[in-house]
Structure 1
Amino acid sequence: MRLASSSMISKGSSDNRRYRTRAPTSQVDETLFANPKPISPDKSGNSTFKAKDKFQKNQGETVQIITKDLIRNLRVPWKDPSGESVILPPAEFKRITSTSQVLTKEERIALHEAYQRKKDEEIKAAEERKRQIYEADLSRKENHALTELELEARDRAQRLVERANALRLEQEEEIKKLNQLILGAQCQATRDAQIQEKKQIQVELTEEEKRLDTMMEVERRKALETVEQIEELRKKQRISGMQQIYDQIKKRLEEKQLQDEMKELERQQIRENQKKMTLEDLKTLEKKKEEQQRLHEEVLRINAETMQAKEQRREEEKMADKRDMEFIKKKMEREAEYEAEQRRIKKEKELEIARLRARQEKAKDYKAEQDDLRARRNQEIMDREWRRKEKEMAIKKSKEEAMLRAARLEQVHCKEHFLSIEAGREKAEFERVLKVQQEAIAKKMEEEEKQHQKAQRHSEAIRHQVKERELSAVAQRREIFKEADRLIEEARQRRMRLDEIKEKKLKELKATGLSEKYCSEVERKARACSESL
């Protein structure tokens, strides 16, 4: 399959084009443009060729276009009129489409991680090569005689290596456990010593408390004697105080007797004063009674005058009521006369209205006759107009029906003509579809054959891959066995080093002068820990 892409080049353009980029990393593949010079093959071995160099024939491809009412044959020339078209092979087209894809964030991260892994592997390989070169250089140097500086440097490096190994072994779980046990034993010994010291201090404190208790007893007795002396002194003070209180009570009784006598004299004086005041009050009461009698007489006189005034007002009110009755009677007479006059006027008005109504009735009857006559005339005119319109509509309807019949006949003729044309088109379309289907069936069979061959090749490749993987698995198992042997040997060496370090630490613990009890306990726990691990 060939894919063609054409592009027009302006006269003023040059080979070195500048593009308006959408991003700093955007690029344009030059193979998409019809360069006058052929492009060299890329890494995959594909290349582009010009259409005029690839096809030299003048004859072109013929394409048949079938529509509903027309069948046309179009001739497509092989030669490019512009002379600038290029032909891209499928591999080149796939390369361009793959490079033009915009990667997502996850794809960019995956590519970055793959690149980082590849870079790390390259670094590890370089370090491995460097180590091998360094070891080869060391082995080469060891074969020669070393100077003092080199010997000293070697010893220093050896000591550093040994120290690093020792520190690394210190990080082992068993060594950590042993260190914990040693520290625990030392702590236990220290704690026992502290407990013994605490007991000694407790004994000393007990003796000191006994001595202090004796001193406190002596002080208590001295305090009791002092308290007894103070109580005796207080007793004497209480006796003297009681005597003073007795003297004071006696003195107060004498004063109270004197006060009682003075109060009796005051009461006698008050009784005499009350008698005098009683006599004066009686005189005052008599005067008040006389005054009240005089006021009562005055009130009776005023009441009599008031009653007389009331009688006079009552007579005046009766006279006023009589005058009001006469006024009301006269008013009613005047109103009766006024109402009689109003009834007379109303009756006259009603008679006048009746005469006017009779006149209006006569005028209304004449007008009704005239209106009825005009209405009949208008109805006759409207009937004549309606009959005329009905006649015109009937004539128009007959003409329209005749026109419709003629149009229907014409439509039938046109439809028959179109059906004949459509039948011809359908026949041509059927033949074309049949041809296309036959070509598609042939093409499908060819593709199925290709797929079958491709499947066979794929199955052979899979069998080859399975065989290679089996061989690789065998090699991997061998490597695993070798690695297991190496790990077992390393574990044995590690166990030996750990045992040596344990023995060394136990000896150092005993050398510190710690009790044999604690040392044996640490050794027992270390042995139990090793067996559990």
Structure 2
Amino acid sequence: MCPATTGKFHSRTKPFKQGGQHSIEQCPQKVNGQYIHHKPQKATEGKQLIKLYDQSGQRELIVPNRSPIDRPVVVADSEFDRLKKQSKVVTLQEKIAMLEETERQKNQLQMESTMRKEALMKAQKIQKAVPGSKLGSTESLSADKNSYLLNRSKEMLVEQDDRVKNANRVILATKCKAIRHAQIEEKQLIAKQLREEEMRLDMMMEQRRQKLMAIEEKKREEEELKKKQYVSEVTRQIKENEIGRLLEAERIEEESKMLNRALIALQKEEEEKMKRRYEEQQKMREEFAKADAEAQHYKKLREEENKIAAMRIEEFMRKKQEREEAREKELEAIKAQKEKEIAAMRAAQEKAMDSQAMMDELNAMRWQEEKEREWREQEKAKAKKRQEALNDLRIARRQQIDDIRKAQAVALARDEEDFKKVATVQKQLHEKDQEKQRKKREEIEKHRKELLKQINEKERERITYQQEKFEDGTAQRLEIEIRDRNVEEYLKNKVKSLKDMNIPERYIGDVERQLKLKK
């Protein structure tokens, strides 16, 4: 048998001793896969939990397990011995012997009690009550009780009068009327409070709606501001690109001007070269003319030399002319080539300017499309994120609803079980209460009969005495007047009790008017 302990199981490395006493660390006994000395680390270990969402946040509730606990209980040796003694089967003879022994002891106790009572009765002496003593207080209580009973009997006699009965009906009707009016006023007050509460809730909802509208308006203004900033940024970039294109065009135009100036300077240089060449040719012609004159002068002298010189000169002139023509053709070709190059450069510049403007415009459009594509991607990502958040929220809400339903089902089952238990207990208590009330009613009825008997006897004695004392009509009228005064005083006390109960004055005045009481 394992010794009782409250410690937790930590280690099982020590060898186990078969039979007899052993420590918790050496106990290898298991039930359903758990050691019999196992103690959970916390209350929720091995139990089903459900999540409950409310205004304060998330809570975890433990689902009660209705299956019995099959884990054995570890008890001490003394407790085990006590259970063994209680588990002993009692035979019929032993039960009879026990009952006889109990009856004998009961009779003996009754005899002893009777003997003590007789001894006390013999030893009791007549004592006179001393003020402040226990006997004096008892007699005082008895006198107060008798006085109360006497007053109560007088009230009951007064209640038998028809005027008092009528007054009771009037007072009861007035109380009902006052209660009814109070209920109506309370109902009207509750309705007014409900209307005020609804107005307050409507005002709160309106304030919340206006607040949400203000937030939406602020978001819309922020979106408009972002759009305006985006448009202004795009416009600024377009203007910057336009300015860049203008600057580039100015630069190209300046380069073209510089190129034109260079071409003009080149043309001037070519013209000067042609002019110098023409002057050289003129000078050479003059020299040739002079040489020709000299040759004519010496023609006669040396015809042969002149002929040879003329032939040489003609040959020289022909070759020179050919060289000059070839040079002029070469210059013309170079000039035409330069003009073609200049025209091509101008066309290329104009084309470059047009293509640059087109490229800038295409770049601006491409940049704008890229920004719009990025904006659409961002909006798409935001929408996807919102949808995912909504899906997660929907899933969490569905899970929350399931958990709430499970919790409600568990709570309903638990409440039903508790209700059955409470109903059973209440039924038992009600039966006991009914039995007590029945006994109390019987005692009250018995006491009332005895009291009425005493009252009747006293009343008969009083009537006999009054008949003997008042034999004439004057005494009877006096008695009637006294009874009337008593009835009127009793009714005034009842009206006063209405005032003590805080009944409105208009109802009290109505009662006094109906009862015709004198003020």
**TM-score of the two chains, using structure 2 as the length reference:** 0.26
Kindly name which structure, 1 or 2, has the bigger radius of gyration based on alpha carbons: 1
